[in-house]
Amino acid sequence: MCHVASSLLTQGKNVLYITLEMAEERIAERIDANLFDIPMEDIRDMPKQLYDNKVDKLNAKTKGQLIIKEYPTASAHSGHFRALINELTLKKSFKPDVVFIDYLNICASARFKGGNISSYFYIKAIAEELRGLAVEFDMPIFSATQTTRTGFASTDIGLEDTSESFGLSATADFMFALMSNEELEALGQMKVKQLKNRYNDPSMNRAFIVGVDRAKMRLYDVENNAQNIVDSGQKQEDNYPKPEDAYSKFSDFKI
């Protein structure tokens, strides 16, 4: 999410990053590492003059603004986020084009206050409230979730591996999984797989490989030969009819 936030900033978009897990200074450090193209451990040792020069160069390239807001874990819900957006619009003339929430499962629900309620209904309620917030302000909201215990060891994650509540998967408009193993980590790569897509055919580019530079919190494209992966949704056996063979059966039909 830090990489996508950095990319949107360079495109001139206003980004609101809400964190309930990490300190806002750590999020800012990660985004700085991406924008400055410098490893995170080198940022703290960077001379102030050099830091200011890099900030000035970024300001000259883009007009995008970034605001990071930290809430204690499980203390904020969609009502707090709505009030924050309205306050930023009123007091700072800052209207976000996109919101990142890190992360959905540790938010609170505005409708349920805990008690004897299952995680399925509670997480589903949070997802519905955040989706309603996105529709209300006409902007995308990105968030994250984790996998189940079996998903952590799986190299082919599906929607059924969503942790705590399958209602989250039912509510989201677009979901993808990030997977890695020892082989991919050694190559500095990560597998991305589409799980759900209400905007396009999810079978298109079902799974692909991207490069990852963790020191700079950056994702990047890899060479085409690195895309030699077979996904469960893309696999085609030799004895399975090819699409052109299937269509040839109806070649004599006249419409």
Tens of pLDDT, residues 62-86: 888 999 999 999 999 999 999 999 9
Q: Count the helix, strand and coil residues of the chain and give each as a percent rounded to the nearest 5.
A: 40, 20, 40
Per-residue model confidence (pLDDT) at position 26: 93
pTM assigned to the model: 0.84
Assign 252 a pLDDT band (cuts: 50, 70, 90): low
- The matching CATH number, chosen from 3.40.50.720, 3.30.1380.10, 3.10.129.10, 3.40.50.300, for 2-173 is 3.40.50.300
pLDDT in the model for residue 240: 44
Reply yes or no on whether the pLDDT at 225 is more than 80: no
Mean pLDDT computed over every residue of the chain: 87
pLDDT at 104 over 80: yes
Tell me how far CA of residue 53 lies from CA of 14, 24, 93, 148, 198, in angstroms.
Answer: 22, 23, 26, 45, 43
Q: What is the mean pLDDT of residues 99-107?
A: 94
